[in-house]
Amino acid sequence: MTVPKRTLLVTTPIYYVNDLPHVGHAYTTIAADTLTRARRLARHDVFFLTGTDEHGQNIERIAREKGITEQEHCDRISAAFRALWERYDIRYDRFIRTTEDVHRRGVLKLWERLRSAKAPDGRDAVYLGKYSGWYCPRCEGFKDEEELRQPGNVCPDHERSCEWTEEENFFFRLSAYEGWLRETIEGDRLLIRPESRKNEILGVVKQGLKDFSVSRARVKWGIPVPEQPDHVLYVWVDALSNYVTALGFADDGEAYRRYWAGGDERLHLIGKDIIRFHCLYWPAILEAAGVLPPNREFAQGFITRDGRKLSKTTGNVIDPIALVERLGPDAARYFLLREAPYGADWDFTDSAFVARYNADLANDLGNLVSRALTMAARYGEGKVPARGEPPVARGGTPGGDVDFTETFAASVCAPNDGLAARVLGRYEEIDFSGALTELWSWVGQFNQAIVQVQPWSLAKDPQRRAELDAFLYRLIEGVRLVAVLVAPVMPRASSRIFGMLGLGEREPSPDDLAWGRLAPGAPLGTIAPLFPRVDKTTDQKETPVSETTPPAAATPLTPASAATADRIDIAEFARVELRAAKVIAAEKVSGSKRLVKLQVDLGTESRQLVAGIAESYDPAALVGKTVVVVANLKPANLMGVESNGMVLAAAIDGKAVLCTFDAEVAPGTKVK
Ligand code: MSP
């Protein structure tokens, strides 16, 4: 492809280390990794930056609660992020931590510049002022009174009371940058996408921008303000600076000069929750400091579950570890990027994940790769077939109307409008689902071509050998190109397809985008299933990913690591089949004080169980209760009575207390 080589920076937000990584973090990081890989395929020089945001009051509080130092806490959680990125095949160039010395030095350099900077109105860009207002320690930010819920001045995001705060702070004169920001954003010198987010931000500017305070008293865990050592720099100023400090801003380092000061694009991928900080505060701070501002920002949508915000408090979380372990990193990456346009909000469901895996990966792509390669290997004695002449002319038989002539090659690889250019163009627009949809339309056409051309019929006629070879050559070249173009999203599958094509399991390079790189006569590799189908009824691994699982095994997260050593993982737990069961009949087991024989309705069957609860429950009182049973226990014989399952109960002072539900639940419902 002949596009001029550009020098590009791609960043994710740096993530708070308040808690373990969640799926929203994985979503942005996968997007950044995919975009980086796609841009490298288009021959650009790309630097991919991510990291962790480690200062602030929340960290002080959490460390205190855990009885460890702030640094120890940050080290653990930051390591959990890196361990997770490894599982997702994320390949960043730099992982910045705001507790690094090079970051502190960079922030102080920026601060020094801001202290002597003049705003567009000629006044000091930073000034000392008095702040009074409602402060939410969880947001690490001040809230307008109208935003708070009454009574109690409650922060709507964190359901906690805000604190009335009065302090002398340094302020940044954002109000003086209103005109500059409007022009920069309206004129797309800072390109904000999706368009709706650009309009949202312009709306905020229109309402009038307030100066914001950039130092904080009472917070200790941060970078002290040189002029006011009992204050630290506001966590957002500290955090945003990472984008330049990580590149070596403090010492005017090589990466800073190349990818920031001298780069063509400074792109921040962010969430829609932090657009004000990134699209208003950050560009204005840099403009004041005489540093180039970012020139592109893309705000991703939010993932919800059952239409609700992901939240630990309500229990609807999607565990990124369970997600990657369920069907592997490629499938997780593919699903997150394919299921919805990147800028839109969308709802995650386990069933959509499995359905898409089976339909798109096992069926469409997996079948194409295995059918194309099996036929090429079978009819060509394990070697790449001859290129030959156009096999079946348009409209000819038995090829139907599939055009597999040279125009096919041309249309796949045409420099401006071919498949490769279109897919790379979609990636470049940060339209991952568009890139994959485009690619899958080709996967579909290749599959259809196999059915129409019927290579197995051609193979029966020795006269048509050349046509067969030429068709198969084009088919596996097409497969090779799909592998190249899907690599940014699914690097493992791509390299496995390369292996099967006899090219060695490796990452594709920009040269691999050219048509005709398979050498006729070269040996093909070993064919192996790419994405084995998941059968919902027999799948042992059918683990919902919406459960919270223990943290990344590689990273002990509590000081008492021994306490977590014998924990089980979610897959082990998933082997236990818990179901709601309604008691239909109950009677004492004769000769036993403790045992009661139960007949329960399990939705699809009725079962006999024996439970040791007779001393706590009168059998008659049990009838009609809905309890929780372990439904897949091996049968046991208790005092001559067969038991097919176990009823769950707690033991309080030797008395059994049954596990029941606090709302109506149908018999047979799975409990997880
Ligand atoms: N530390 C700040 C960012 C500083 S950047 C200079 C922060 N961190 S965060 O840990 O809260 O991560 C925020 C980002 O995570 C969001 O902007 C978004 O990219 C991502 N997501 C968090 N929850 C999300 C969803 N439920 N869905 C999609 N992405 C979400 O803010």
pLDDT in tens, 589-607: 887 777 889 888 777 677 8
Residues 302-325: tens digit of each pLDDT: 999 988 888 777 778 899 999 999
List the single range of 85-99, 126-140, 564-578 with lowest mean pLDDT. 564-578
Spatial separation of the C-alpha atoms in residues 284 and 287, rounded to whole Å = 5
Q: Higher-confidence residue: 80 or 160?
A: 80
| Catalytic hit among 73, 109, 136, 162 | 136
| Catalytic hit among 118, 206, 210, 312 | 312
Percentage of residues in the chain having pLDDT higher than 70 = 88
- CA of 106 from ligand 1 middle (Å) equals 23
Question: To test the ligand 1 pocket, which listed residue (49, 59, 274) has its Cβ within 8 A of the most ligand atoms?
Answer: 274
Spatial separation of the C-alpha atoms in residues 647 and 659, rounded to whole Å = 8
Nearest alpha carbon, ligand 1 atom 21: 24
Of the candidates 572, 614, 607, 604, the residue with the CA atom closest to the CA atom of residue 668:
604
654 — pLDDT class (breaks 50, 70, 90): low
Percentage of residues in the chain having pLDDT higher than 90 = 62
Spatial separation of the C-alpha atoms in residues 243 and 285, rounded to whole Å = 13
List the single range of 286-290, 536-540, 562-566 with lowest mean pLDDT. 562-566
Residues 56-108: tens digit of each pLDDT: 999 999 999 999 999 999 999 999 999 999 999 999 999 999 999 999 999 99
- CA of 21 from ligand 1 middle (Å) equals 10
Spatial separation of the C-alpha atoms in residues 552 and 289, rounded to whole Å = 40
Spatial separation of the C-alpha atoms in residues 184 and 192, rounded to whole Å = 10
- CA of 160 from ligand 1 middle (Å) equals 20
Burial 398-429 (b: 16+ CB within 10 A, else e): ebeebbbbeebbeebbeeeebbbbbbbbbbee
Is the dihedral angle over the CA atoms 132, 133, 138, 141 positive or is it negative? negative
- In the residue annotation, 206 being an active-site residue is answered as no
Spatial separation of the C-alpha atoms in residues 436 and 448, rounded to whole Å = 18
β-bridge pairing 7-11 and 265-271: parallel
| Catalytic hit among 158, 210, 220, 536 | 158
- In the residue annotation, 44 being an active-site residue is answered as no
Query: Tokens 């829609």 correspond to what residue?
Result: 272
List of residues 6+ apart from 475 with CB closer than 8 A = 372, 375, 376, 446, 449, 450
Helix (H, G, I), strand (E, B) or coil at 609: strand
- In the residue annotation, 74 being an active-site residue is answered as no
| DSSP secondary structure letter of residue 159 | T
- CA of 43 from ligand 1 middle (Å) equals 30
Spatial separation of the C-alpha atoms in residues 602 and 540, rounded to whole Å = 21
- CA of 26 from ligand 1 middle (Å) equals 10
Q: What is the position in ligand 1's atom list of the atom closest to the CA of 274?
A: 17
Nearest alpha carbon, ligand 1 atom 14: 271
CB 573 within 8 A of CB 322: no
Of the candidates 529, 504, 532, the residue with the CA atom closest to the CA atom of residue 518:
504
Of the candidates 63, 45, 61, 49, the residue with the CA atom closest to the CA atom of residue 6:
45
Q: What is the position in ligand 1's atom list of the atom closest to the CA of 13?
A: 5
- In the residue annotation, 22 being an active-site residue is answered as yes
Using CB distances shorter than 6 Å, the residues near ligand 1 are 13-16, 24-25, 27-28, 53, 239-240, 242, 270-271, 273-274, 300, 302-303, 310
- In the residue annotation, 659 being an active-site residue is answered as no
- CA of 271 from ligand 1 middle (Å) equals 6
Spatial separation of the C-alpha atoms in residues 499 and 526, rounded to whole Å = 7
List of residues 6+ apart from 444 with CB closer than 8 A = 364
Quick check: 145 pLDDT over 90?
A: no
- In the residue annotation, 139 being an active-site residue is answered as yes
Residues 350-398: tens digit of each pLDDT: 999 999 999 999 999 999 999 999 999 999 999 999 987 654 444 444 4
pLDDT at 399: 38
- CA of 429 from ligand 1 middle (Å) equals 21
pLDDT at 567: 58
Helix (H, G, I), strand (E, B) or coil at 213: strand
pLDDT at 219: 87
Q: What is the dihedral of CA 617, 622, 625, 627, to 10 degrees?
A: 60
Tell me the mean pLDDT in the region 44-62: 97
| Catalytic hit among 74, 155, 162, 413 | 155
Residues 411-430: tens digit of each pLDDT: 665 555 678 889 999 999 99
Burial of 590 (0-12, 13-18, 19+ CB in 10 A): exposed
Nearest alpha carbon, ligand 1 atom 15: 25
Q: What is the position in ligand 1's atom list of the atom closest to the CA of 28?
A: 19
Spatial separation of the C-alpha atoms in residues 247 and 531, rounded to whole Å = 39
Spatial separation of the C-alpha atoms in residues 434 and 423, rounded to whole Å = 8
- CA of 190 from ligand 1 middle (Å) equals 21
Burial 219-237 (b: 16+ CB within 10 A, else e): bebbbebeebeebbbbbbb
| Catalytic hit among 210, 309, 541, 670 | 309
Question: To test the ligand 1 pocket, which listed residue (28, 49, 58, 243) has its Cβ within 8 A of the most ligand atoms?
Answer: 28
| Catalytic hit among 25, 55, 268, 278 | 25
Tell me the mean pLDDT in the region 427-445: 95
- CA of 235 from ligand 1 middle (Å) equals 15
Helix (H, G, I), strand (E, B) or coil at 266: strand
CB 476 within 8 A of CB 518: yes
Tell me the mean pLDDT in the region 610-625: 86
Summary mean pLDDT of the chain: 88
Burial of 50 (0-12, 13-18, 19+ CB in 10 A): buried
pLDDT at 397: 43
CB 279 within 8 A of CB 307: no
What CA–CA distances, in Å, run from 129 to 16, 203, 212, 561?
Answer: 28, 27, 10, 47
Spatial separation of the C-alpha atoms in residues 472 and 449, rounded to whole Å = 11
Residues 619-651: tens digit of each pLDDT: 888 888 888 988 888 777 777 778 888 888 876
Of the candidates 136, 137, 30, the residue with the CA atom closest to the CA atom of residue 89:
30
Helix (H) or strand (E) holding 11: strand 7-11
Nearest alpha carbon, ligand 1 atom 29: 24
